[in-house]
Amino acid sequence: MVSKKLLLLPGDGIGPEAMAEVRKIIAYMNAELESGFELDEGLVGGSAYDAHGLAISEADMAKALASDAVLFGAVGGPKWDSVPYDLRPEAGLLRLRKDMELFANLRPAICYPALADSSSLKKEIVEGLDILIVRELTGGVYFGEPKEIRDLGNGQKRGIDTQVYDTYEIERISGVAFELARTRGNKVTSMEKRNVMKSGVLWNEVVTATHKAKYADVTLEHMLADAGGMQLVRWPKQFDVIVTDNLFGDMLSDIAAMLTGSLGMLPSASLGAPDARTGSRKALYEPVHGSAPDIAGTGAANPIAMIASFAMCLRYSFNMVVEADRLEAAIAGVLDDGIRTADIMSEGKTRVGTTEMGDAILAKFKALAA
Ligand code: IPM
Ligand code: MG
């Protein structure tokens, strides 16, 4: 029996509301499909700070490290704006990524046919879009040292962040991108800023060498990251897999999200290296959207990104490909039926809240299993 220990970290804002819809799906899968998920729960972000004075407690960190997969909601909100920097809600997420060594962040941007009209871009530009951003997640300027505000003693201060990448970090993230490209459109676009950054020069060299050594069957192209942002809104369908560093990946994936109609649609998977003995990877799944404090508690949040993140969990952590396909088909089916949360609402469609959207997806998921 494969163990299926899931740790739920709903977090703040709309995180718990979105997570509640995933819980319903898991309850159904355990009861009717004998999926055997063992659930545990913890606190992260502002809710952890309120309870323990930390963005994540040591006990919850230990649970995360012992789980087969973590499902993460969202963190942050104005309530914690004046919390000390090291204890801010986002620190909980960054610690999970770093301590679980989740270096590969997969952010698929798929435009469901039913939503081609919801994007701020023209329909023909986004219709049928299916790209994957592979973002490096444990290095770069997010974690590089020194990282500080230095007092220069002359009335001036200096803010310092350090962009740093080692060969092995670029090799392993580009390896993930090439492997995934082989299962899709067989093309990788690497994005950096080699025209101004030494880390970009190295990034470009190492991606090129990795390609030559092991993945010459995959088409590789290089693009400066600013041009890449422009091309993403000009003609996004030219891309298949984009591989890029932590900070560029953060920005480019928000752009990609809007191509799909709403930030509320985009799931993500953050994966570690496969264990040498068991082959299993540490993993955390989270929607790309944030905690959306402005709509938290109103029942209006879109749970699709959270549910689609659980579908990625089924696929990547448990190899439950049939169920993952079915859950993704259930989401597409509900959208085809014209059911919409406020963020993706358009004329003539049926507007629903978070729980109705979750119920509709679960009903479709059940019907597809029958
Ligand atoms: C993301 C978020 C995070 C990031 C924040 C919440 C720290 O924007 O996952 O894209 O910057 O990585
Ligand atoms: Mg972001």
Q: What is the pLDDT of residues 35-58, one digit of tens each?
A: 999 999 999 999 999 999 999 999
Which pLDDT does position 167 carry in this prediction? 98
Domains, in order of start, for the chain: 1-103+272-370 (3.40.718.10), 114-132+139-259 (3.40.718.10)
Q: Which ligand 1 atom sits closest to the C-alpha of 137?
A: 12
Burial class of 48 by CB neighbour count within 10 A (0 to 12, 13 to 18, 19+): buried
Question: What is the H or E stretch that residue 256 is in?
Answer: helix 246-259
Residues labelled as active-site residues: 142, 193, 226, 250, 254
Which pLDDT does position 2 carry in this prediction? 76
At 128, list the tokens. Answer: 């049928």
Measured from the Cβ of residue 337, the count of other Cβ atoms closer than 10 Å reads 13
Residues in the chain: 370
Indicate the pTM of the whole model. Answer: 0.95
Which residues are paired to 86 by β-bridges?
Answer: none
User: How far is C-alpha 348 from the geometric centre of its chain's CA atoms?
Assistant: 31
b/e 55-91 (16+ beta carbons within 10 angstroms → b) = bbbeebbebbeebbbbbbbbbbbeebeebeeebbbeb
Q: Is 303 helix (H, G, I), strand (E, B) or coil?
A: coil
- Any atom of ligand 1 within 6 Å of the Cβ of 305: no
- Any atom of ligand 1 within 6 Å of the Cβ of 143: no
Query: Phi-psi bin for 216: left (phi > 0), alpha (psi -120 to 50), beta?
Result: alpha
Nearest CA to ligand 1 atom 4: 250
Q: Is 118 helix (H, G, I), strand (E, B) or coil?
A: coil
Nearest CA to ligand 1 atom 5: 90
Contact between residue 106 and residue 286 where contact means Cβ atoms under 8 Å apart = no
Give the C-alpha separation, 243 to 248, whole Å: 10
Contact between residue 95 and residue 101 where contact means Cβ atoms under 8 Å apart = no
Residue numbers of the chain with a pLDDT score lower than 50: none
- Any atom of ligand 1 within 6 Å of the Cβ of 250: yes
At 150, list the tokens. Answer: 């230095």
* Owner of token pair 């404090």: 293
Contact between residue 193 and residue 225 where contact means Cβ atoms under 8 Å apart = yes
